[in-house]
């Protein structure tokens, strides 16, 4: 670890957008999941929520080029619980879903707290998901295909959110609390130490200027 790499990680966290998140309902193909997480990292989405029948919610490292580890994934038992968790943080949920109430994805104001709901690869957003969402968005299609791949659709919509937030200056100052930035740096740089601290109920250690661990009390 070098001071330069630590600075880059801190700078990345200072550009994260805590009130811009993604909710994946039954998106289980590893390459799609990994591609979506890679886009999340690129636009500053710090957290994705996932509902899946599969116990092993796997990130395919080859597809994500390692970026999947920089985006937290919070799993939920069912879709209503996931939507409640997101809405409880003050975010509106927009489902990528074709319906009579759907609007062009560019008409949504993504500078406000929001979460993008994406459905399974074949079925798309479920009826339950569509009903729980605060609104529906679509990507206009002018070809013979009816829709885009879920990871491509996620990228299109999230980069529109990035464009709007850049124009609004929302990447210019840190939007994550300093304590959360420091905590995340420890988890990124020293995942084993972070896991041990969580298991033992101890606070995370501090970091020196090169990202090294500074123990206030030596670990047992």
Measured CA to CA in angstroms, residue 41 lies from 82, 85, 218 at distances of 21, 21, 34
- Cα-based angle 142, 147, 150 (whole degrees, multiple of 5): 140
Exposure b/e, 164-182, CB count within 10 A at least 16 = b:
bbeeeebbeeebbeeeebb
What whole-number distance in Å separates Cα of residue 30 and Cα of residue 73? 13
What whole-number distance in Å separates Cα of residue 126 and Cα of residue 77? 16
Q: Closest by alpha carbon to 214, among 188, 184, 193, 191?
A: 193
Beta bridge partners of 196: none
* Lookup: tokens for 121: 């690869």
Beta bridge partners of 21: 115
158 appears as a binding residue in the annotation: no
Q: Which letter does DSSP use for residue 44 in this model?
A: T
Look at strands 213-214 and 206-207 and give their pairing.
antiparallel
148 appears as a binding residue in the annotation: yes
| Contact assessment for residue 137 and residue 104, using Cβ atoms and an 8 Å cutoff | yes
Known binding-site positions: 139, 148
Which residue ranges are tagged as binding site for S-adenosyl-L-methionine? 139, 148
């Amino acid at each position: 670890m070098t001071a330069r790499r630590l600075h880059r990680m801190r700078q990345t966290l200072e550009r994260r957008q805590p009130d811009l998140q993604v909710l994946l309902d039954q998106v289980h193909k590893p390459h799609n999941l990994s591609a979506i997480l890679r886009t999340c990292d690129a636009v500053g989405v710090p957290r994705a929520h996932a509902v899946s029948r599969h116990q092993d919610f796997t990130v395919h490292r080859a597809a994500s080029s390692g970026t999947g580890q920089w985006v937290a994934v919070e799993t939920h038992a069912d879709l209503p619980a996931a939507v409640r968790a997101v809405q409880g943080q003050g975010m509106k949920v927009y489902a990528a879903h074709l319906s009579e109430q759907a609007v062009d994805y560019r008409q949504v104001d993504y500078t406000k707290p929001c979460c993008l709901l994406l459905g399974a690869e074949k079925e798309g957003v479920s009826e339950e998901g569509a009903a729980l969402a605060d609104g529906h968005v679509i990507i206009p299609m002018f070809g013979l295909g009816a829709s885009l791949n879920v990871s491509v659709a996620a990228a299109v919509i999230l980069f529109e959110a990035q464009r709007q937030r850049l124009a609004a200056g929302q990447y210019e100052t840190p939007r994550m609390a300093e304590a959360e930035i420091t905590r995340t740096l420890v988890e990124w740089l020293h995942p084993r130490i972070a896991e041990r601290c969580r298991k033992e109920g101890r606070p995370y250690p501090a970091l020196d200027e090169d990202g090294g661990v500074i123990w206030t009390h030596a670990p047992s």
